[in-house]
Structure 1
């Protein structure tokens, strides 16, 4: 059974630039989000 996740709240957990965080998993695969800095 899949549990839904709010992407906005998941991205809120990422505080540092270029530091990916696991925000979920599907079929034994991790879903990661990272904050990018564009100059």
Structure 2
């Protein structure tokens, strides 16, 4: 992140699972990763 002059904030990273392995093939799983920045 140094290229954008951003630093990680002192908060946890959050993961959002947009689908389930019960419903889609492993290659089709989608996860959003939210990294808090300063």
* Fold conserved between structures, TM > 0.5: no
Which protein is richer in strand relative to its size? 1
Greater C-alpha radius of gyration: 2
Relative contact order higher in (CA < 8 Å, ≥ 6 apart) = 2
Report the TM-score when normalising by structure 1. Answer: 0.32
TM-score (norm 2): 0.32
